[in-house]
């Protein structure tokens, strides 16, 4: 082991491969009746700017991905909903083992018992998926890869025949 921090560990495997061991995560594509998607504005020091992203976070010890998705949705947006697993994927398998579970949330309702993590400033915004896609493509809006995947589903999921929850437990 080269380094161990709060959320990751850096290892040198076989004296050759630098591998980041990272906790698995969840992200939630929350949709309203008008087809808009809900995102969270976050300051991201690693890239030096604010991003608009799907609600997301790490899976805590003892939590299932679905429990973590419900918790993150509630903490970041104060909403709850019907969660359906969409897919899971490795965030950056060239150097990191983080597995991200993507869920869709529909039938949203207020969730009053949750609050953001300490020190976390949360600003949410509902957006139209098509205009958001254009803003990302033009460089006007910074975001994460999981958000791009979620927007892709919101825009084309039905047209591509992607069934929500279809084999979502396989990476």
Active site residues: 118
- The 8-13 sheet, strands edge to edge: 3-4, 8-13, 17-22
φ and ψ at 78, to 5 degrees?
Answer: 60, 35
Distance CA 30, CA 154 (A): 10
50 CB-side CA count, 13 A: 10
Q: SS3 of 72, please?
A: helix
Bridge partners, residue 41, by sequence: 52, 123
Distance CA 149, CA 155 (A): 10
Distance CA 140, CA 134 (A): 8
């Amino acid at each position: 082991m080269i380094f161990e921090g709060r959320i990751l560990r850096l290892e040198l495997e076989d004296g050759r491969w630098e591998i980041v061991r990272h906790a698995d995560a969840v992200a939630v594509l929350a949709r309203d009746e008008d087809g808009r998607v809900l995102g969270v504005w976050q300051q991201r020091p690693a890239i030096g700017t604010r991003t608009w992203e799907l609600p997301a976070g790490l899976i805590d010890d003892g939590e299932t991905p679905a429990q973590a998705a419900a918790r993150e949705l509630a903490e970041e947006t104060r909403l709850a909903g019907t969660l359906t697993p969409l897919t899971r994927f490795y965030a950056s398998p060239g150097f990191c083992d983080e597995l991200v579970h993507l869920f869709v949330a529909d039938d949203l309702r207020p969730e009053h018992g949750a609050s953001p993590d300490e020190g976390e400033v949360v600003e949410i915004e509902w957006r139209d998926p098509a205009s958001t896609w254009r803003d990302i493509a033009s460089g006007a809006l910074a975001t994460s890869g999981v958000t791009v995947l979620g927007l892709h589903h919101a825009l084309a999921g039905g047209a591509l025949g992607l069934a929500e929850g279809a084999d979502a437990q396989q990476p």
